[in-house]
Amino acid sequence: MKHELVIVLDFGGQYNQLIARRVREHKIYCEVKSYKTPIEEIRALNPRGIIFTGGPNSVYLDNSPRMSKEIFELGVPILGICYGAQFMVYGLGGTIGKANDSAAAEFGRTDCEFDTNSLLFKGLREKSVVWMSHNDYIETLPKGFRAIGHSAKCPFGAIEDPERKFYGTQFHPEVNHTEQGFDMLGNFLYNVCGCRGDWTMEEFAENATREIREKIGSGKALLALSGGVDSSVACKLMAKAVGSQLTCIFVDTGLMRKNEGDEVEAAFADSGVNFVRVNAGERFLGKLRGVTEPERKRKIIGEEFIRVFEEEAKKIGKVDYLVQGTIYPDVIESGAGDAAVIKSHHNVGGLPDYVDFKEIIEPLRLLFKDEVRALGTTLGLDEKLVWRQPFPGPGLAIRIIGEITPEKVAILQDADAIFREEIANAKLDREISQYFAVLTDMRSVGVMGDGRTYDYTLALRGVSTSDFMTADFSRIPYDVLEKVSVRVVNEVGNINRVVYDITSKPPATIEWE
């Protein structure tokens, strides 16, 4: 079935994915496309509306991202945000002032007034706080436009050409700091574009199930199940669609968190699919013996994982389809450039070279993480797996600093379980983006009972982040940290000191290795 579609045209802004998520929160399907997308492609997609994102450039720079002016002749409503608004004004014959010409630059919280006669602000308060972040500013408007919002410094804080259904905001309605931003986007989508809102996970599940069945027919599919949210939801969806035609291979590396292997097994063993659990803990630990260098650990685990998977897949024979839990943020074609590789991330999805199959199926490739979770809930997946925080492919191997031994794995599993339990008791488990314990290789002196101890230091890490590219350390209350510390030192052997990591990313990374 064809959904209503809104296109977010990415001009290299930092909030492009956030805009797309907001649109989807309004139950409207949305795709992010690069500003380089040919106009014919956009026309063929037949969007209900287009949103131009912000971007780091000035419209006057030679290399600033530009789109063919034909975009304004499609007859499709457009909302330009920040650079997007400036690009629209510039493209339609208005002028943009350079910030160094004046003191018009604005950053951060700004009071703004709106004309609530405009469809964009219909039903909203006339005054509220918005989030500005711009150097350049709209100086004169193109024909047909008028101001519908202003701040003390910015006479054209929001503009409209209602005839052509073009709207622009100098501020960012997509960020939480803009008080009525979510409703403004809703007004654009529903009042201006005339959307109805047909994007729900129930409908997605129905359609996806039907499409998967049509595609697979009587063929066989194979899925590498890591127990992470994405592969678990993909498995559940495939199970609903094709049941026993699917085989899931779950490689238990022995480096998972406490009881995690059993939880994954419990969630899938009776789900109608062929479920294969490979207990490869000893094999992985054998390969890792004596290894201390983080990148080496990652490589060894990545390679071994593929080997185990390949051996199991061979036993099954030829399969027609390999299922991967790729999600939308992985596939977005962005206007922005390449990033440096800081760590070689091992993702258990990356297996295609080694398995004999005809085609790859990625049933979640249109979904954002929160939608994947919602789909998991719709499909009845165990809440523990739905709300599982991200867990790196190499598992506890990169949370044990230095050499990995079975004893250290057990120590860390126990300590980490206590940390997670106390975070859940404090009802912080859905608030903190990721939290875990790290077993350092540092030992220090302590005193327990009347005796001297010389034991390991455990580090706790908790971060809040929306994209895991940058992160801030979580302000976990001291009394929660204290409970964890007391319990860890009392209940887990070989730890006599607990510290909390208060570095953000950058300069640190989230994981310690």
Shortest Cβ 399–ligand XMP spacing (Å): 9
Shortest Cβ 343–ligand XMP spacing (Å): 5
**Given 160, 174, 179, 371, the catalytic residue:** 174
Catalytic residue flag (residue 82): yes
Nearer to ligand XMP by Cβ, of 116 and 389: the residue is 389
**H helical segments located in 200-357:** 201-216, 229-242, 260-268, 281-288, 294-316, 328-331
Nearer to ligand XMP by Cβ, of 56 and 390: the residue is 390
Number of H helices and number of E strands within the chain? Answer: 14, 20
CA 156, chain centre distance (Å): 33
Site residues, ligand XMP (CB under 6 A): 298, 342-343, 345-347, 390, 392-394, 434, 468, 505, 509-511
In eight-state DSSP terms, residue 47 is -
Torsion (CA) 258, 264, 270, 275 in degrees, nearest 10: -120
Q: Which two tokens stand for residue 138?
A: 């709209």
Nearer to ligand XMP by Cβ, of 69 and 345: the residue is 345
Radius of gyration of the chain (CA): 26
Nearer to ligand XMP by Cβ, of 208 and 264: the residue is 264
**CB within 8 Å of 162: residues ≥ 6 apart:** 118, 119
Distant-in-sequence contacts of 380-386, Cβ < 8 A, 24+ apart: 380/236, 381/232, 381/233, 381/236, 381/267, 382/263, 382/266, 382/267, 384/263, 385/227, 385/229, 385/232, 385/263, 385/264, 385/267, 386/229, 386/232, 386/233
Shortest Cβ 396–ligand XMP spacing (Å): 11
φ/ψ of 65, rounded to 5, equals: -65, 130
Cβ atoms of residues 289 and 317 within 8 Å: no
Nearer to ligand XMP by Cβ, of 70 and 467: the residue is 467
**Given 4, 26, 30, 82, the catalytic residue:** 82
Q: What is the DSSP string of 229-245?
A: HHHHHHHHHHHHHHGGG
Give the integer Cα–Cα distance in Å for 296 and 274. Answer: 33
Nearer to ligand XMP by Cβ, of 12 and 392: the residue is 392
Nearer to ligand XMP by Cβ, of 85 and 264: the residue is 264
Element spanning 401, H or E: none
Shortest Cβ 347–ligand XMP spacing (Å): 4
**CB within 8 Å of 379: residues ≥ 6 apart:** 205, 233, 236, 237, 240
* Three-class secondary structure of residue 294 per DSSP: helix
Cβ atoms of residues 361 and 398 within 8 Å: no
Nearer to ligand XMP by Cβ, of 79 and 415: the residue is 415
In eight-state DSSP terms, residue 346 is -
**Given 26, 30, 112, 172, the catalytic residue:** 172
Give the integer Cα–Cα distance in Å for 30 and 47. Answer: 9
Catalytic residue flag (residue 304): no
Q: What is the DSSP string of 127-140?
A: EEEEEEEESSEEEE
Nearer to ligand XMP by Cβ, of 110 and 226: the residue is 226
Cβ atoms of residues 10 and 53 within 8 Å: yes
Please identify every residue annotated as catalytic. Answer: 82, 172, 174
